[in-house]
Each structure stands twice: as structure tokens, then as C-alpha cells.
Structure 1
Amino acid sequence: MRRPLVQELLPPYAVGAETRADAPHEVLHPEERAAVAGVSEGRRREFATVRGCARRALTTLGHAPVPLVPDPRGVPRWPAGVVGSMTHCRGYRAAVVGWRRDVRALGVDAEPSRPLREGVLRTVSRPEERERIALLQAEHPHVACWDRLLFCAKEAVFKAWFPRTRRELGFRDVTVTFGGAGGTFRAAVLASEDPGYGPDEGPDPGRDFDGRWVARDGLLVAVAFAGATDR
């Protein structure tokens, strides 16, 4: 059996689970059912399936499966001591988790492997990123849709950043540099007058992220992470 695609992208102290199809009979906890009351059946299946992935990942991590209710911003409430992230796009659902003692921040995003609509790249990128993307597209045109991959990597960073800091980021507040076609990237949240400290953080929650990505089977998947400070 082929190793889960998302697991290829994770550091050794994190685990993931994925599926390519919704599970029509995935059981939701009462609190979760209440969170999706009134939504469409398709949205409910998507919600349930990705939480099934998350509970499988938690089990692999060594934590009992628990309800995963979204907060008012839609961010899953993970168990104490756990960092995690979920993603879903057409034909793909995945979740990643790790112990907080091992990983400060963890985010995953999946996107269809097709170019962004005209004009979107300029909205979600900085000038130097567009220059790098143009070079990558010229050097490795068959590896990935580089503009969509940039978007995907930034979404993964946002998912890693926001639960820790509770601060919004714009697309131009993050800069991403890909390590060529090798499946890695580095990302940094750019400094500003508002440092974005979380309520329970020390002087700096960390602005730099490592990342890995893969383009396969019509999908782009990216993971951003920051290891624990004492590692």
C-alpha cells in the first residue's frame, strides 16, 4: 500500500491521515453535529470526513479520538497538548497533528493542480516572489503549477500561524522561497509594527517556517511547520 501522500511531507514528529473520497457514514459527535446543523449534505460529509482523518491521525499519535469542534473563526479546537491542521479540496481530505512539545506550529493545505485565474497571482504575491515563480516556471514547467503552489504554501503558513497567534495575515505579509523542484520551501512572516504576539506566547511566537510540497495525481499539497524551540 502506498504511503499517504501527506505523510511524505511531515517531519518525523508529526503524523497525518488522508482520503480521496467522503465517508458517507462517518460518525460525528453531538457537538460537531450542532456545528454543521443547517449546512448542505455535501458540506456535512466533507466536515465529517476530514474529522475522521483527524481522529485517525490522533490515534496514530497516541491520543484518544475526541470531538473536534470549530471555534467562531472556523479553526478546529484541538486537544490540550496537540497542534494540528485540516484541509479539503475536490477529491482530497487530510489532517496532520503533532504534540505541542515537539512542534510549535503546523499547517496543511491542498489545492487542485491548475493555474490561478488571471490576475490572482499579483494579488497573492510580492514582486520578488513573482520573479522567482517566473524562473521556476521556465526551468521546471512540468513539475507544478508554480503560481497555484505559491498560493498553497501560503495557505499552509496561514493555518500554522493563526491558531498560535490569533492574528490575521495578508498574502503579502508572508514571503515564500521554493528550493527549486525538490519539494521544499522556506517561509517567513514579515516584520511589522504589530508583532502579532499571541496571548500566551513569549516575546516572539516565531516567524520562520520550513515547508514541503508535492504535486501528484492532479493535486498540490503543502505543509508548513516550525519545530519546538528546544529541539
Structure 2
Amino acid sequence: MSLSPNQHLVALKSLAERIAPPQVAVAVTDPARGVAVVWPQEAPAIARAVPKRRREFAAGRQAARLAMRSLGRPEQAVPTRPDRAPQWPKGLTGSITHDATSCVAIVGSGGHFRALGVDVEPDAPLHDDLTAEICLPQERAWLMEVPTPRRALMARRLFCAKEAVYKAQYPLTQTLFGFDTIQVTLNVRSTGFTARFMQSVGEVPEGTVLSGQCGTGGEHVLAMVTLGAQAGMENANFPVCATG
């Protein structure tokens, strides 16, 4: 039985809060409701966008402000940089993601995190053509060991994890790269993963490893990567880049 819109958002938020570190605030909104307001500083980014994109953008910014409020910070605009990435207010870092039925935003203090990355996907099988495009030979070999009914679902998790890694590293490297740059390994319970850089990205050397969290809830797959800014925090040893 399918969940109602409210039920799937509640379950997704619960999942996000469960896998996020204590210092990360989480908010979830519904892009289909179309009630979110875009602030003037944000409006230029969607001046020529189609209605669907406008709704998704507005819901994402609404989620970002709700997360700021949960963090105990005043709500602020999140305009778009020339490279289309969110421009977070001074002292904050975050990440926004959406699929057709949900928007998720995570926000943290710049004193705790250098960057955050989150991705949400429908908990549905990934098409074989996309699996071939997204997965490295090592990842496809692992998928072949997964029972057939779950193989395409696990491919979706690999995709989601790669997206979260990309979004976490981008504010520091400002480098675009393809899916073959990262090899993802899910843990035994598929509640977390490691991501190895198979080639250098900016000042991040080949062989660098990041860890992340993932899970399913509310008919969604969610992956999250946090780059800690303090010793002992997850991924605090991620190389500091000239741009970060």
C-alpha cells in the first residue's frame, strides 16, 4: 500500500534525522504543493524556468530556511551562484536535493562542517541502461552477486551515494566529474558506504576515501555525506583544496 504524501514526508524526515550528525539540521518539503515562496534574491535563478522547476526550487529553498530555523539561525535567502550551486549564508553550509515528490535540505554551521552533500531518489529499480552508465566494473561485479529481485534497487543506492559525494565535494573543489570518478562500496546492511576517488579531482588525490550514510524511508532512498571541520569528525581529513 502506498503512503500518503504526508506519511512519506514524515518517514523521509525521520530517516534523514537518523543518519545526520547531531549538528546537522534537516527539513523536508513537498514540491507538489506549490505554496513555497521564493525570496527576491533567489528569484533570478528561476526567472525563465518552467512551473515544475519553479515549484521544486521554491520547495527546496523553503526546506533550507526551515533547517536554518531548526539550527537556531535566522531564516535567510539562498541565492544561486553562477555555477548554479546554492550560495549559503556566511557561517553556514548545506545541501538541497529533490525528486518528484520531496525536497530535502540539510544545513550545518561552518564551524562544524566544511561542506555537506545529500541526495534523494525514489526507492525504485534503476534502469539497466543507467546502471551501465553509472557503475564501474567493480560495482557491476558486486551487483551481480546481489539476488536478482534486489539488484536494480541496490544500483539505485549506488547512484544516490555517488550524487551525495559529488555534492559534498563540489563546494571545495568546484570540479565537475563523471560517475566513473568514484567507486562506492555499501556496507553489509546498506546503511552506510565508502567512496574512493579513482582519479585525482583538483587537489584531492586518487585513492582518497570518504564515508557516508544511506537508507530507505517513505518510499525514498537517501544518502548523506558530511565533511567535518573539526578533528575527529567524519571525513575531517578530506584534503583542503585551494578553493575550499
TM-score (norm 1): 0.86
Q: Which residue does the alignment assign to 1:200?
A: none
Is contact 1:17–1:95 with CA below 8 Å preserved after alignment?
A: yes
Partner of 1:122: 132
What is the deviation of 1:229?
4.3
1:190-216 per-residue CA deviation (whole Å, 9 max, x = no partner) reads 343xx513xxxxx88x94322111123
Partner residue of 1:161 out of 162, 169, 179: 169
Determine the structure 2 residue equivalent to 1:176.
Answer: 184
Map 1:33-48 → 2, pairs under 5 A:
33-48=43-58
CA contact (8 A) 2:39 2:77 kept: yes
Contact 1:144–1:215 under 8 Å retained in 2: no
- Computed over aligned residues only, the root mean square deviation of the Cα atoms, in angstroms, reads 2.3
CA deviations on 1:130-177 (whole Å, 9 max, x unpaired) are 122232x229x5598001111110001010011111011211111111
- 1:112 corresponds to which of 122, 128, 138: 122
Residue type at the aligned position of 1:225: T
Inter-partner Cα distance in structure 1 for 2:208 and 2:227:
9
For the pair 1:50 / 2:50, whether they are aligned, the reply is no
**Distance of aligned partners of 1:42 and 1:120 in 2 relative to their CA distance in 1, 3 Å threshold:** closer
Amino acid at match of 1:106: L
Distance across 1 between alignment mates of 2:59 and 2:137: 38
Match of 2:224 in 1: 223
Partner of 1:196: 202
Q: 2:41 aligns with which of 21, 31, 38?
A: 31
How many pairs were matched up?
Answer: 221
CA distance 1:214–1:71, change in 2 (3 Å): same
The answer to whether structure 1 residue 186 and structure 2 residue 187 are counterparts is: no
Q: Answer yes or no: is the 8 Å Cα contact 1:4–1:17 preserved in 2.
A: no
Q: Structure 1 pair 133/100, CA: closer, same or farther in 2 (3 Å)?
A: farther
- 2:239 aligns with none
Give SS of 2:77's match.
coil
CA distance in 2, matches of 1:34, 1:185: 37
Q: Deviations 1:83-123 (Å, cap 9, x if unpaired)?
A: 21000101111101111221233111111122222222122
Contact 1:15/1:57 (8 A) holds in 2: yes
- Select the residue among 128, 132, 147 that pairs with 1:138: 147
In structure 2, C-alpha distance between the alignment counterparts of 1:150 and 1:67, rounded to whole Å: 32
CA contact (8 A) 2:60 2:97 kept: yes
Distance 1:207 1:84 in 2: 22
Give the CA deviation at 1:23.
4.2
**Matching residue's letter, 1:152:** C
Structure 2 unaligned blocks of 5 or more:
1-9, 233-244
Identity among equivalent pairs (%): 34
TM-score w.r.t. the length of structure 2 is 0.82
Which residue pairs with 1:151 in the alignment? 159
CA distance in 1, matches of 2:208, 2:117: 14
**CA distance in 1 between partners of 2:127 and 2:151 (Å):** 19
Cα distance change, pair 143–101 in 1 and its aligned pair in 2 (3 A) = farther
AA at the equivalent of 1:169: F
